[in-house]
Structure 1
């Protein structure tokens, strides 16, 4: 019975894969023929089937860019970069799309110890830091056993020092792992989709306007209250924007 169910599931997955490949090829042909709206429909149909890939998001971004859809093009380029952050073609195209935006937001660079810690934390994924921590713990146990059963004084001393070093490295690896996790949790980017949106000082319509944002601008979501999102710009400015005016990545 299990084999039959597995065979059915495998067959269904093959059919879904084939269907998505067909839609992707149809979308590419429509794009090459200049039928960008129809190409977008084909690509979105793939998304509705639960298929996600950097190539699919990239093509969606390209199609929207051809139609001068600023916010959607940047949104899908950003989605593609989440899957392939070092892709030169995606980075090149999103740079062109960002040139169409109105808002000029300066980025505050990280400096000093914060930059140092963040760079090390981002060097590995959270899972990689976790596996490294487990490996260091195993090394510590091995070295401690060597220390415990060793007969010679020099062997004991070397094993003891090495085990202490493993403890320190394990603590550092765990610290970087949790810092990496915190950075990932805090990273909630969104793209402004409204042509123009008022950013308020408080999460209500009666509050004063802090500044305006326009479509395509990237923000970080800090908090949510009812139908309002607290956002932060790359230059450090914060405010509240209507949830309907942005799309979270």
Structure 2
């Protein structure tokens, strides 16, 4: 059993090293402006199961250079899911959106919602979870000092600090849960059809509501057979064939 475990670790290490070599080759192709070759190699890395914000970001850049905005935006958005606080990703998304047809103003959000989302999106689910665990253990240490200390001043300080750190642990755990939920559900998608008419019902005979174009980011709110109900940034809703969408 130990021998098999060692062999498994060796194979994983070799696979990781091979992926790093492929990523380096893709980067070299990108620097040489050989964007199609870079795309093939980055896609190869993702197909092997290695998912990272950096690979998605680099792949998005390569697609951007070829003028394929839907695929560029798809990969930028996937990178953002894994690294929500990355300013470079946000900047490139804004630039790519300037190159698509639909420039739809999103519905205004309440101040508290913007403030809350701004904090949550500063880090990934894993990072928030790590912060939560650290704060929880700090709270336990402070509580231990509180119970065993013989000095009243130390007791007061450690008690209130333990309460604050425990509250911080709960808060950051909620941040991690929210980010994990977004990552798992993936209810957003990019339109890949050059132009498509949104219908009032999940059927080709439904009433035409409005026209949207490739590259637009939408939220999937419902599903029926081969149709998806979507909501665009301004709040309007309707149905599209799922073949016109690619989930982020």
State the Cα distance separating 1:83 from its structure 2 match. Answer: 1.8
| Local SS of the residue matching 1:207 | coil
Q: Distance in 2 between matches of 1:8 and 1:173?
A: 39
Q: Distance in 1 between matches of 2:195 and 2:97?
A: 16
Aligned to 2:56: 57
Q: Which runs of 5+ in 1 are unaligned?
A: 146-157
User: In the superposition, relative to structure 1, how do residues 233 and 84 fare at CA in structure 2: closer, same or farther (>3 Å)?
Assistant: same
Cα deviation, 1:181-227, whole Å, max 9, x if unaligned, reads 57864761111111111111111110011111111110111111111
User: In the superposition, relative to structure 1, how do residues 58 and 114 fare at CA in structure 2: closer, same or farther (>3 Å)?
Assistant: closer
**RMSD in angstroms over aligned alpha carbons?**
3.7
User: In the superposition, relative to structure 1, how do residues 109 and 184 fare at CA in structure 2: closer, same or farther (>3 Å)?
Assistant: farther
**Does 1:14 find its partner at 2:13?**
yes
CA contact (8 A) 2:76 2:89 kept: yes
TM-score w.r.t. length of structure 1: 0.76
| Local SS of the residue matching 1:55 | helix
Aligned to 1:226: 225
State the Cα distance separating 1:243 from its structure 2 match. Answer: 0.5
Residues paired across the two proteins, number: 241
Cα deviation, 1:107-158, whole Å, max 9, x if unaligned, reads 11211565566667768858579869978x989x99xx9xxxxxxxxxxxx9
The farther-off stretch of 230-239 and 126-135 is: 126-135
TM-score w.r.t. length of structure 2: 0.76
CA contact (8 A) 2:84 2:122 kept: no
Q: Distance in 2 between matches of 1:115 and 1:62?
A: 28
Q: Distance in 2 between matches of 1:236 and 1:53?
A: 31
